Amino acid sequence: MVQENLYQPFEIEYRECTECPIDAHKHNFFELVYIVEGEGIQCVNKNQLPYSAGKLFLVMPQDCHSFEVKSSTKFFFIRFNNIYLKNQQKDWIQQLEFIFQNNNHMPGCILKNKTDKPLVKSLVEALIREIINQQHYHRALSQQIVNTLLMVVARNILFQLPEPPRQAGKTEAPLNILHYIHENIYVPEKLRAEQIAAHFNISPTYLSEYFKRNNGDSLQQYITQYKLKLVETRLRYSSMRVGEIACELGFTDESHLNRMFKKYKGVNPSTFRKELSTEQFN
């Protein structure tokens, strides 16, 4: 199987294929694939789904990926790697957490929010114009458009997350506890059980029972596990120091983070990052 590499942080390609298939291959980078026109079959990790114009696919590193072209298809590819992500602002990386922490979505079009479909179409058309015209600042402008597109991807992955079931006997909106945790993960005082319970107007005892029943883990276990996943994301896609990560995510200090991360991954954060660097150059 072919292993494709990306030799620059960021790449855009506009390609038309006729009847020949795009054979199965793997990437060491992230890829967004937009179908400008045409029909066929998309295969990701042995899952097959039809594609057609207006669909957008997210392919993660090491996914086995191929297309079977049924009718002449215009593909628009956006490829980026961890170097591209490391060069972005920290706040922007935070807003993309849902891509990297919820990337187990089934293959197929990721655009579930109908109102985003025309937005994505217009963004892709703008990128195609930049490729064709090659005017001044086209590279910088294209990057800004791509960043906007990535935010739309993140929003649609968030849109697909399951809502918690309604509380028996209640008529108010569903208790969106998971989303509350994700949104406030950088504000430790808002993650205390008493604060979360008060936000949803329920008792702390009911909150603990409800969360354990619907998620398997206790509330504190879930928060800790989610924070450690974010630590892993920082180590992979940013140049932040371990102490900075510990401060950002509300760990007591760097030693506290080291202990928790080693329990989670078997190695401390610094060793984990060194191993990632070694893998990248092998």
Residue with the larger pLDDT of the pair 62 and 56:
56
Least confident window among 70-74, 267-271, 272-276: 272-276
Q: Is pLDDT of 50 > 70? A: yes
Least confident window among 108-112, 203-207, 277-281: 277-281
The predicted structure's pLDDT at residue 55: 94
Which residue ranges form the domains of the chain, and what is each CATH number? 2-160 (2.60.120.280), 177-281 (1.10.10.60)
Percent share of the chain, pLDDT over 70: 75
Q: Rounded distance, CA 263 to CA 258, Å?
A: 9
The predicted structure's pLDDT at residue 94: 64
Q: Is pLDDT of 128 > 80? A: yes
Q: Is pLDDT of 246 > 70? A: yes
Claim: this prediction has a pTM higher than 0.85: no
